[in-house]
Amino acid sequence: MLKSAANSNPEKNSMPALRHLSCLTLAFLAFPALAASGPAVAGIPVDFILFALTLLGVALFHNATLYVALTGMITIALYKIIFTGFKTGAGLAGLIGHIGHEWVTLANLFCLLMGFALLSRHFEKSHVPVILPKYLPDDWKGGFVLLLMVFVLSSFLDNIAAALIGGAMAHQLFKGKVHVGYLAGIVAASNAGGSGSVVGDTTTTMIWISGVSPIQVFHAYAAAGVAVCITAYVAAKQQHGYSPMIKGSHAHTKVDWTRVGIVGLILLFAIVTNIVVNIKFNHLADHFPFIGVAVWVAIAISIGLRRPDWEIMPETAKGTIFLLSLVMCASMMPVEELPAASMLTALGLGFVSAVFDNIPLTALAIKQGGYDWGFLAYAVGFGGSMIWFGSSAGVALSNMFPEAKSVGNWLRHGWHVALAYVVGFAVMAAVLGWHPEMPERSMPAADPTAARIAPAGSAAH
């Protein structure tokens, strides 16, 4: 992979990373109603301080993110074992109970990240990305259309798959020289595409299975459509200036339709399993990682057709363990309630989701009620794109492009994602207005582990 020139000065990169991540962390801590009672420093629970320090460590030491995340997870776990306990009990027994409560989410994430990494290599070796340039517009508009394709794919695929497919295409189209701003655009497009579809993102699926009509989520596309156009335009311009699309002649290149079929098979297994489990067997969803296992069943079936690239598994595993460590850290935070439902709260949750798992945030919002579900879906879905580890799509893509693992680079070159988020939110507010759920409607309580694709937020979107 191409090394980003900006990475040559870590100390210079660390300062903007510290400033920007501190702002997001302070936005998170600005919700005083989030925290339960417990030891605190200046009114901030120690749990949150440890989590914030972990995130800052990730920002400052992006070449050692795995070790920082593991250290943070162990530190938070030890603190809770000794001082506060868990929702499932005190001490080591409480930790074991907590892991038992979260293991399906973790297992699904592990299987999906590892499996979709193989999927992306199948897609890359199918030669579809090689012949794609002759069907795309010239100059920067080709990169723009590619991001719109990722947006559409993510409306019915898992956002990890959409991001990895987009990354595989970009790697071929730009000969491995992909701008960090364009990588942020790919992640933003994948998260935007799922925000208005109840089968495109874990959070929207949770809202759907809680009893909300898909129509009440669909209007999130009013914001997501604007946001993706903004970020796609800026990112495509950045990429064209950095490394233009090479429209070479590939007349003799043939598509490996067997590999294309394998990609389709894996996605089909994931989509069908997701829909069937969430609609027919939702009561079993928190007992077994159905989606992740379905992906690996499809991979196993296809081994005889084309050999998967097992060589990428060790490096992919490192990124996956990093993500799971942050998911575990976020799951141990003492989040008990959200501020009163409002448009401003929904806007703030988008920034919170960049550093915090949006699965429990969404579950709390469902139990609380009173939200305009389209606003909430857009906020928690798109918000994680603002930092590379703020969504599972970002973490998965960073395994393909290690130069993305710098919060400073991501925020500096991917500034258009935050701008697009705010503008999209404002457009939806101005055009459609805030139409919250009727107060008298009683929502069923939703467990954070009820939906089982790939969580988003600080650890996954």
pLDDT of residue 208: 74
Bridge partners for 86 per DSSP: 89
Tokens of 417: 């994602």
Which positions of the chain have pLDDT values less than 70? 1-38, 62, 133, 199, 205, 209-211, 247-252, 335-338, 357-360, 438-461
CA distance 9 to 423: 32
Q: What is the pLDDT of residues 164-194, one digit of tens each?
A: 888 888 888 888 899 999 999 999 999 999 8
CA distance 385 to 460: 10
pLDDT of residue 309: 92
pLDDT of residue 438: 61
pLDDT of residue 135: 79
Tokens of 329: 């850290």
pLDDT of residue 25: 46
Contacts of 93 (CB under 8 A, 6+ apart): none
pLDDT of residue 399: 76
pLDDT of residue 448: 41
Domain ranges of the chain: 102-313+342-431
CA 229 to chain centre: 19
Tokens of 94: 């409480």
pLDDT of residue 15: 40
Contacts of 419 (CB under 8 A, 6+ apart): 230, 231
Contacts of 127 (CB under 8 A, 6+ apart): 253, 254, 255, 256
pLDDT of residue 108: 83
Tokens of 395: 């973490």
